[in-house]
Structure 1
Amino acid sequence: MTDDVVVLRYGHRPGRDDRMTTHVGLTARALGADRVVLPDNAGQSAETIRDITDRFGGPFAVELRDDQRAYTRDWEGTVAHLTMYGERVQDVDADIRANSVDDDTPLLVIVGGEKVPFDFYEAADYNVGVTNQPHSEVAGLAVFLDRLFDGEELEREWADADRVVMPQETGKRVVDPADAYDRDEE
């Protein structure tokens, strides 16, 4: 299976990381990645992400793997590891984009969930810090993907959605996709 942008969530502590792992996957989906690879013990997070994809559209794939080190080591493409200890995202985002998205080279984005072994740092073509300050891996992934895609992911249209959220100033409005497109044409 080839993808343009794959997010690998390294590590998952059941009971402690369930919500964060789920949000890594949902953020990857919403902001332009093609697939998320989760640890094999994150089955509940995988099911939630698949359910959201079924309801709100795709394409987006979710995979569970127990061989994350081997998966990273065998990756044929560019590897970016998000870490507070990396180079500033604003200094390397254009280079990463040029060496992945712009030249159709697959990009693996590693997001840690627990202490990341040093071999991930060594396997990475880029160790990238978003602010070089402690914060959420979900926030780091969101900023990274937005910079990677130059904001174009915000205009994405979703296929096979059961529902569409209609943007509006206040309130919540979720409609059938056919109704959303009919309104756009009026």
Structure 2
Amino acid sequence: MQDEPAVVVLRLGHRPGRDERMTTHVGLTARALGADRLLLESVAEGRRETIDDITDRFGGPFEVEITDSPLGRLRSWKGPIVHLTMYGQPVQRVEDEIRASHREEPLLVVVGAEKVPFEVYDRADWNLGVTNQPHSEIAALAVFLDHLFDGRELDREWTDAEKRVIPKETGKRVEDVE
């Protein structure tokens, strides 16, 4: 979040025609729950427009960056790396260690779309599972970010917003920011 080292989410893989909503929702979840930036493969560049539109309307900061070499970005990352996978260590066993590491350096969070190359498992400092049951990558990202930020992301302040959601017990209310 704003006054801490960056959290960057790398969406590894994107199957056009199949992953459009999933990739968009990975980006929206990353934004809403405290990440600073999303790295998308060039094949998923069309998802950037939706995520940028939400950021423009509901505030930031949040950036979407396109890369032609997602594995290259993984290989060149200088800080700690978390790979979200249902085959990994339970989040509750390693979250303190990850949080301590993130205090010192930016954190890369890898969220796969399809079968992830073994290199990702090998390069990651933590292969992390939020549950060792089948689930979506969006759920994994949301649970992980909530654990990383210890719930502080839920009270985050948004800058340069045009609109804001007004919490209500029932119904919907969105207002222009004045």
Output the TM-score relative to the length of structure 1.
0.92
- Tell me the equivalent position of 1:165: 165
Question: Which structure has the larger Rg?
Answer: 1
Residue 8 (structure 2) pairs with residue 6 (structure 1):
yes
Unpaired runs of at least 5, structure 2 = none
Q: Which runs of 4+ in 1 moved over 3 A?
A: none
- Supply the AA of the counterpart residue of 2:95: D
- Supply the AA of the counterpart residue of 1:143: V
* Mapped partners of 2:66, 2:161: distance in 1: 23
Deviation at 1:176, TM superposition (A): 1.4
- Tell me the equivalent position of 2:69: 67
* Mapped partners of 2:159, 2:38: distance in 1: 18
- Tell me the equivalent position of 1:33: 35
136-145 or 61-70, which deviates more: 61-70
Deviation at 1:64, TM superposition (A): 1.0
Q: How many residues align?
A: 174
- Supply the AA of the counterpart residue of 2:92: Q
- Supply the AA of the counterpart residue of 2:65: E
Aligned identity (percent) is: 65
- Tell me the equivalent position of 2:113: 113
Q: How does 1:75-94 map to 2 (within 5 A)?
A: 75-94=77-96
Q: What are the Cα deviations for residues 19-75 of structure 1, in whole angstroms up to 9, with x where unaligned?
A: 000000000000000000011111221111011101110010001112011100100
Give the secondary-structure state (helix, strand or coil) at the position aligned to 1:93.
helix
Give the secondary-structure state (helix, strand or coil) at the position aligned to 1:13.
coil
- RMSD of Structure 2 on Structure 1 (CA): 0.8
Output the TM-score relative to the length of structure 2.
0.96
Q: What are the Cα deviations for residues 85-129 of structure 1, in whole angstroms up to 9, with x where unaligned?
A: 1100110111100001x23x1000000001000000111000001
Unpaired runs of at least 5, structure 1 = 179-186
- Tell me the equivalent position of 1:184: none
Deviation at 1:177, TM superposition (A): 1.5
* Mapped partners of 2:146, 2:162: distance in 1: 25
